[in-house]
Amino acid sequence: MGERERYTPGTFCWADLGTADQEAAARFYGGLFGWEPEARSNPAGGVYTMMRLYGKAVAGLRDGPAAWLSYVSIEDADACVGRLRELGGIVVDGPARVGAAGRMALVQDRQGALFALWQPGEHAGAGLVNEVGAMVWQHLSTPDVGAARNWYAQLFEWSWEELEGGGGWWNARNREGWLTGSVSDLPAEGVPPNWQVSFAVEDATAACARVEELGGSTTLPRIETPVGGIAVVRDPEGAPFGFFDGESEP
């Protein structure tokens, strides 16, 4: 299993969902992935629901607009925020301490894609990844792929490789050589730059059908890529996320 106790700095480590109804979201994702909710007090106020699979934390739910937020593990939030500003990025909020769990900053890259920086304390990130029902991938859609590759390479020391037959899709590797994300052009005009989280499933087509049974919708039915099948869906509140049913690193 893809169990994790730590993450190399510059690696995606966590994702959580903003929602107007955490209990309803927990039922939807529990029905889809088998996640079990654990509600706890949020240091920022209100409730934060930790979603678990096989007892491991795999994602979170928080109050907020319907959208998934992807987190990158870093060593020093203040230093990383300083570097991000030097590179033309925007700090939306933070860095701020989240109780004993760690320190967080909400930021945008130079082209406007939103993501979070996470300096771990007691919470390193997802305890399970790259397994069915767990986070497997983060993908950036952006108007200037070359500029984005250069920007993230300078911020996180990512190296990039073009996926053969991938139609302009590039994969990112962290400084230890492990895959951590990907980038391609925006799919259509009017779509803002964005990071999208994907979860591993056995069959993306069947997973799309299950989403619809639970009240969500399919945005992109399963398509075959050189590395496996992908699909994009929305939960009942409209938050988009992806499925992946190919082989992944351990």
Cα 111 to Cα 142: distance, rounded to the nearest angstrom: 7
Task: Return left, alpha or beta for 133; rule: phi > 0 is left, psi -120 to 50 is alpha, else beta.
Answer: left
Residue 166: predicted pLDDT: 66
Rounded to the nearest integer, the mean pLDDT of the chain is 94
Query: For the whole model, what pTM was predicted?
Result: 0.94
List the one residue out of 47, 48, 99, 95 whose CA is nearest residue 74.
95
Domains 11-120 and 135-244 share a fold: yes
CATH topology of domain 135-244: 2,3-Dihydroxybiphenyl 1,2-Dioxygenase; domain 1 (3.10.180)
Tell me the mean pLDDT in the region 227-235. Answer: 93
Share of the chain above pLDDT 70, in %: 97
- Torsion sign, CA atoms 119, 250, 25, 229: positive
Containing 35, the helix (H) or strand (E) segment is none
Residue 11 exposed, middle or buried by CB count within 10 Å (0-12, 13-18, 19+): buried
CATH, domain 11-120, list 3.40.50.1100, 1.20.1560.10, 3.40.50.150, 3.10.180.10: 3.10.180.10
Residue 250: predicted pLDDT: 59
Which are the contacts of 102, defined by CB distance < 8 A and separation ≥ 6? 118, 119, 120, 121, 122, 123
Residue 168: predicted pLDDT: 85
Q: Which pLDDT tens digit goes with each residue over 40-61?
A: 877 666 899 999 999 999 999 9
Confidence band of 1 (pLDDT split at 50, 70, 90)? low
